[in-house]
Structure 1
Amino acid sequence: MRITHPSAAERGVQVETTNAPVLAGETFLGTERGASGPSLRAKVPVRADDGGVVGMVAVGVLESSIAEDRDHALAGLLPWGIGALIVATLASSALTAAVERRFRRADAVAAENAQMSRTTAALREQSHEFGTRLHVIHGLVSRGDAAAALDYIEDVVPVRSAGGGSAGGEPVAEATMHAVRAELLDLGAQAEFDLALQGDLDEGAVSVVTNLCRNAAEAGATRVRCVLLDEEGRLRGAVEDDGPGIDPRVAGRIFGQGFSTKDDRTGFGRGYGLDLVRRTVTSRGGTVEVGPSPLGGARFAFEMERV
């Protein structure tokens, strides 16, 4: 029976979620849907003086609260992104390095303010995504596509703008390829692209492509190939690699939040890239599948609506 709860109506009633492992003495950390909605939760047993379990304590953070914190953090970082564009066109590489240090300090502050380890891991994944976006913005500015860079920023976080659109081509797609190649080189992998697009990539498509390519390189691949094409108003793509592949025993769980087969050397948690891919694709009426690759590793194929 629940002894205390933020909502008075929930006090004194039977707990809805499954708690047998906790009452058996185990610690639980994961996602559940409770009386207040989906949340990240931690549960620990309460023991009597003789060591027997007599109850449990559960704490949690609503997923809606995490999403609100994420959106607030991105909005707060937007002025820095615009400042980075100006600095990239007018200043030297030394000033660019100083701006990047500011972003790293902002990430550190976000991590220090996190109240739970799972919340910290989620914020770390958002920081990684923001770094990818900066790579794309840098690529656009390096090409001289200032208008396309502004369009891309407005696609990430809508802002008031008096400017027009891009001058043609697929500048975001090209900047994304540049960013992915640079990031994968740091991880010891080569990236290949085969694009047949009828328009540029939007923010959701950039997130899917970058996360799948990064996941392949982090898994140990040395060659990563990405294919994208437009077909009847839908974006279809595949990312395949020559890495170790996916163990069939865990194939059904790899898209779950927090699940990862890679070692976490950072201490902040892993297993959020593929979960982000799944949520992005399904939110746009699409699907994502995993299977063996002709290159010898894993192949992730997806399709979703164009926006």
Structure 2
Amino acid sequence: MTGSLRGILCVLLSAASPAALRRAFMRRQDEQRKGGPTMWRLRTLASMILLGILGILLATVLIGGILDVRLSRATLDHQYEERARIAASTVADIPEIRTAVLDGDRNRIIQPLAQRLIAGTGASYIVVTDRDGLRFSHPNPQQIGRRLEEPVSVLDGRSHVGIDHGSLGQSANGKAPIVDGRGRVVGQVSVGILENQVAHQLDEEIEAIALYSAIALAAGAAVAMLLTRAVKRVTFGLELREIASLLQEREAMLHGIREGVIGMDAKGRVNLVNDEARRLLGITANAIGQQLDELVPAGRLRRVLAGRDAGADLSVLTDDALLVANHRPVVVGGRPIGSIVTLRDRTELEALIRRMHAVTGLSNALRAQEHEFTNRLHVLVGLLDLGETDEARQYLADLASDQLISAEDLRSRIGPPVVAALVLAKLAVAAESDVDLSVTADSHLDAPAADAQTLMTIIGNLIDNALDAVSAQSGPRRVTLQLRDDDHHVRMVVSDNGPGISAEAVEEIFTDGYSTKSPRGEMRRGMGLALVRRLVYRRNGTIDVSPGPGARFEIRLPLSSLDPVASARTEVSEESR
């Protein structure tokens, strides 16, 4: 019961806001201050549970005690009846008794003998009669010689027991026949044990029953007190109406926000998950009560959700989105009861940030080219001022030829226009950063049916990483791009002369969130290579990394996997990341 209540409270309190908890506790304190008489203040959940358990225990003990007393009384009656029957049979088998009954007890020996037998057997009385009911012995001597008021019951030759309401009072009675040598019933022996003896032993039984009942009631009350304290501790003193209010607030909050929320107890079991979290994590099964390991595959996403990767606003990649996750423990009343994880979908925002960064880079490149063009215009103006019109005309022709050759050369070798435009833009960015970005002479990419968006995402991320890798070093800074395609594959190679990648970090660099670079504004680091590998593996391609000095990334993609129709739905979100 305690475990179930703890799970319910973990669900409620992990989802409830601190303000809701404060309101609940303040309501409870106000009600206690204004509660009036003690009997009304006792109407709390813990008190109702305590009183209910004590009432059940008391009723059970009373009913059980009464039944036990009745059973003991019936058992004692049966035992004393059996004792009386055995005593009656023993007396009936005494030869002196049989002989005296046969001759009508002319010598008056039965009464004295019966008195001695009473002292020896512990019976209250022994009455001996003939078959007609004529008494030969009786505790009251005046009854001797008188007949019984009821008929003799042993004429059938069998012993009888019962409760006798005779002249001496109620008694446990046993009757046995006196049989002569021919087997004929000639008399009856009636032995009785008065009720006061049975009552005395029953009182002793009742004392034992009462002691046992008192012990059971005390033990039950102690257990009820402990259970009440446990319930009060688990519910943090909240009453049923307050718990119901928290549940209503939780439902309204969970289904009214556009953030994913996952609540887990102290053992890592999922106690709540809203619809947005199911959508972001792709959870379709019933997650309540399951371990996080059963719902999320191994990797950085599981580590972040479980709180094993510390930090705030941690970025993680799923198959469909870029998420920002925050893991926080939930502590109520100084005790940890679990944790809460919030998930935000940053796919669209991250796409805007990356596009803005790309536009900013192009703007800076254009600004640098503007300075260069200004200098060239100054040269032209100077030549014209000096009257060197032929030199000015030749200088202008050379400038136009260089620009046309560069653009036309790329356009002739790279078929997809958007890919050629991307490479041309990266050339401008590299020139602004004083990096020698070159496209190898053997590069040639037709692939008219290839998905250009995928190629742009891969090439753009690899070139950006290479430019960042060489930007901080002194001396020559070179980045080389090679693009090749044949009938079956597209091959992309990006290499640089930077510090390279250590052999130990070759696999680690593809983990989302891993980066050796400092954050750049709001843009998330450590996403590019993770996205590249995910794109490559999804399209059944291969990616090879050569460690330093100088990094080299070689990617091969099957042309059949670059069908733009088949991958259109997934590429939009993946490019955004």
Residues 51-105 of structure 1 deviation map (CA, whole Å, 9 limit, x = unaligned): x53311111246xxx66xx4xxxxxxxxxxxxxxxxxxxxxxxxxxxxxxxxxxx
Alignment correspondent of 1:225? 480
Fraction of identical pairs, as percent? 26
Residues 194-240 of structure 1 deviation map (CA, whole Å, 9 limit, x = unaligned): 21233467222122112111111112352100111112321112100
Q: Which amino acid aligns with 1:198?
A: D
Alignment correspondent of 1:216? 466
2: CA distance, partners of 1:49 / 1:263: 39
Aligned match for 1:124, one of 353, 356, 361 = 353
Alignment correspondent of 2:551? 298
2: CA distance, partners of 1:25 / 1:226: 36
Alignment of 1:6-45 (within 5 A): 6=274, 13-17=289-293, 29=314, 31=316, 41-45=325-329
Does structure 1 conserve the Cα–Cα contact (< 8 Å) formed by 2:541 and 2:558? Answer: yes
Residue 287 (str. 1) matches residue 571 (str. 2): no
1:190 shift after superposition:
1.5
Secondary structure of 2:340's aligned partner: strand
Alignment correspondent of 1:182? 428
Alignment correspondent of 1:104? none
Structure 1 segments unaligned to the other structure (5+ residues): 71-109, 111-119, 136-141, 144-165
Secondary structure of 1:219's aligned partner: helix
1:248 shift after superposition:
2.3
Distance 1:181 1:39, change over 3 A: closer
Secondary structure of 2:500's aligned partner: coil
1: CA distance, partners of 2:323 / 2:535: 19
2: CA distance, partners of 1:283 / 1:133: 30
Alignment correspondent of 1:192? 438
Secondary structure of 1:245's aligned partner: coil
**Higher share of residues assigned helix:** 2
1: CA distance, partners of 2:531 / 2:457: 8
Alignment correspondent of 1:47? 331
Residues 17-64 of structure 1 deviation map (CA, whole Å, 9 limit, x = unaligned): 46799679955745488xxx99653211122454x53311111246xx
Distance 1:206 1:232, change over 3 A: same
Distance 1:57 1:218, change over 3 A: same
Alignment correspondent of 2:229? none
1: CA distance, partners of 2:274 / 2:484: 50
Q: Which amino acid aligns with 1:177?
A: V
Residues 157-201 of structure 1 deviation map (CA, whole Å, 9 limit, x = unaligned): xxxxxxxxx999734444233111112233332101021233467
Q: Which moved more, 1:222-231 or 1:269-278?
A: 269-278
Does structure 1 conserve the Cα–Cα contact (< 8 Å) formed by 2:502 and 2:547? Answer: no
2: CA distance, partners of 1:187 / 1:177: 15
Distance 1:284 1:12, change over 3 A: closer
2: CA distance, partners of 1:233 / 1:53: 58
Larger Cα-atom Rg: 2
Q: Which amino acid aligns with 2:465?
A: N
Q: Structure 1 length normalisation: TM-score?
A: 0.57
2: CA distance, partners of 1:131 / 1:297: 28
1:249 shift after superposition:
2.5
Residues 129-163 of structure 1 deviation map (CA, whole Å, 9 limit, x = unaligned): 6889999xxxxxx98xxxxxxxxxxxxxxxxxxxx
Distance 1:55 1:209, change over 3 A: same
Does structure 1 conserve the Cα–Cα contact (< 8 Å) formed by 2:315 and 2:524? Answer: no
Distance 1:123 1:14, change over 3 A: farther
1:284 shift after superposition:
2.4
2: CA distance, partners of 1:25 / 1:279: 22
1: CA distance, partners of 2:308 / 2:363: 47
Secondary structure of 1:217's aligned partner: helix
1: CA distance, partners of 2:469 / 2:423: 20
2: CA distance, partners of 1:186 / 1:231: 33
2: CA distance, partners of 1:53 / 1:15: 18
Aligned match for 1:258, one of 510, 513, 522 = 513
Q: Which amino acid aligns with 1:124?
A: I
Task: Give the total of aligned pairs.
Answer: 219
Alignment correspondent of 2:453? 203
Q: Structure 2 length normalisation: TM-score?
A: 0.33
- Aligned-residue Cα RMSD (Å) equals 4.1
Q: Which amino acid aligns with 1:264?
A: P
Does structure 2 conserve the Cα–Cα contact (< 8 Å) formed by 1:227 and 1:238? Answer: yes
Distance 1:21 1:257, change over 3 A: closer
Alignment of 1:34-113 (within 5 A): 41-50=325-334, 53-61=336-344, 70=348, 110=349
1: CA distance, partners of 2:499 / 2:360: 27
Q: Which amino acid aligns with 1:270?
A: R
Q: Which moved more, 1:194-203 or 1:260-269?
A: 194-203
Does structure 1 conserve the Cα–Cα contact (< 8 Å) formed by 2:315 and 2:324? Answer: yes
Structure 2 segments unaligned to the other structure (5+ residues): 1-268, 279-284, 294-301, 365-402, 405-410, 472-476, 563-577
Secondary structure of 1:304's aligned partner: strand
Q: Which amino acid aligns with 1:218?
A: D
1:282 shift after superposition:
2.4
Does structure 2 conserve the Cα–Cα contact (< 8 Å) formed by 1:23 and 1:53? Answer: no
Does structure 2 conserve the Cα–Cα contact (< 8 Å) formed by 1:188 and 1:217? Answer: no
Distance 1:301 1:5, change over 3 A: same
Secondary structure of 1:45's aligned partner: strand
